[in-house]
Amino acid sequence: MNWSLILEIARALMLARIKQTLIAAVGVMFSITMFVALLGFMNGLNGLLDGLILNRTPHIRLYNEIKPNPNQPIDQSREFSGGVNIIRSIKPSTSRLSIYNSASIIQTLESDPRVLGVSPKISTQVFFNVGTIDLTGLVNGIDVEKEAQLFAFTDYVTEGNYGDLNQINTIILGKGAADRMLASIGDVIQVTTAQGNRMQLKVVGYYQSGLGDFDNVNSYASLSTVQKMLGEPPSYLTDIQVKLHDFNLAPPMARELEEVFEIDADDIQTVNAQFETGTQIRNLISYAVGITLLVVSGFGIYNILNMMIYEKLDTIAILKAIGFSPQDVNRVFITIALSIGLVGGVAGLIFGYLAGLAIDQVPFETQALPTIKTFPVDYNPKYYIIGGTFSLITTYLAGYFPARKASGVDPVEIIRGK
């Protein structure tokens, strides 16, 4: 087997049908370009949409849930102990919202090698007093630096400086809440807690997550400000937010923390299962469309090689007559197919990357997403690897069957027919 001779014959056959060869290569190039650009664009959008929720969601949230007391008086009675007691309209117990011994829990979590960081939080319902009208809302007391470090808090502060929250009696309003109150930065608003405590807070910024319902009610202040508002000590916390190095560990670790600290725990997969499902479906659609394009280009190559074999039967007969084995003829046509796939695939990867750059420059401005200025594109190398691999696989398969047909040609019959 002389590979240099096989390559030379393959080149000659491709040049003899240069127009059809170029059309096949362009088909592969277009398929790979669309495959890479489509996956990059779709996964960029997926990352943007999921980030609106997942960036602001802790991997594990520790809190005390208000639940009805499972130990009802009737269950303690000997008279009714042997029966099934059905109680309707059970009221929640007077359990505490604050987390007991929160400082020790945080210290234990921060020493865990699985934990990236821990951020304490206080959530409390309030009324924003606007003239004679009271607007309901939710003020979140946060550790400002931890929130910025772990949950990209600064990305959602559209106006003002998030560092000003470290000053006492300051607040960053959700953009929807600020619009409803017509509150500007520097204004002082009055807040009333559910316990009846009133406090005046200075507006130092706006917060906009892109979720309208969320921004209409949520606002942020420092832990000390909210503790002072509620009249609680510095140890008062209602939530402990945990960020892990690997969020896939969240479900089992949440169950573990529930048992260790005897506290309620939510994990990110359970709370946001619908977003993960939506992302998987969108990814599946993207891959399905991209692979379909590659398969269609493979059929184009298959047809072109079939026509080439039909038109070059006499050439094939001569090759076999002068000593080329069926395997050599097979290699010639597979070489043609792989050459088309390689050239078209490399060009497709380059144009796919350029298409991604072009999409990345298209303006995308909306009030719901103030921090996004252009369409998002994901340049993950795996899309290019998958695209290049599929281009070679599909073109190989497209050339394999015509090559088998060519290798089976009987030179005597062809020459006798001529």
| Domain-wise residue ranges, the chain | 3-54+275-417, 60-76+92-271
CA-nearest of 355, 282, 333 to 31 is: 355
Q: Any alpha helices (H) in 132-220, and if so which ranges?
A: 144-151, 175-181, 212-217
Runs of H (alpha helix) within 87-186: 102-110, 144-151, 175-181
CA distance 396 to 231: 73
Q: Provide the token pair at 174.
A: 């959700």
Residue at token pair 């792989």: 338
Helices and strands in the chain: count of H runs, count of E runs: 15, 10
Q: Which residues contact 307 (CB under 8 A, 6 or more apart)?
A: 20
CB-based burial, 168-198: b 16+ in 10 Å, e otherwise: eebbbbbbbbbebbebebeeebebebeeeee
Element (H, E) at 264: strand 264-267
* Tens-level pLDDT at each residue, the chain (418 residues): 577 777 887 788 777 778 877 887 887 888 888 888 888 888 888 777 777 667 778 889 998 876 666 666 666 677 666 667 676 666 655 566 788 888 899 999 999 999 999 999 998 889 998 877 888 889 999 988 888 888 888 878 888 888 888 888 899 998 888 888 888 898 899 999 888 888 999 999 998 877 777 888 889 999 999 999 988 888 899 899 999 988 888 889 999 988 888 888 888 887 776 666 777 777 788 778 777 777 776 777 677 767 766 666 667 777 777 777 777 777 877 888 888 888 888 998 999 999 989 988 888 776 656 667 788 888 888 888 888 887 788 778 877 777 777 677 666 665 665 5
CA distance 292 to 298: 10
Residue 91: what residue type? K
- In angstroms, the CA 302 to CA 206 distance is 59
Q: Are residues 212 and 177 in contact, defined by beta-carbon separation less than 8 angstroms?
A: no
The sign of the CA dihedral 313, 317, 320, 324 is negative
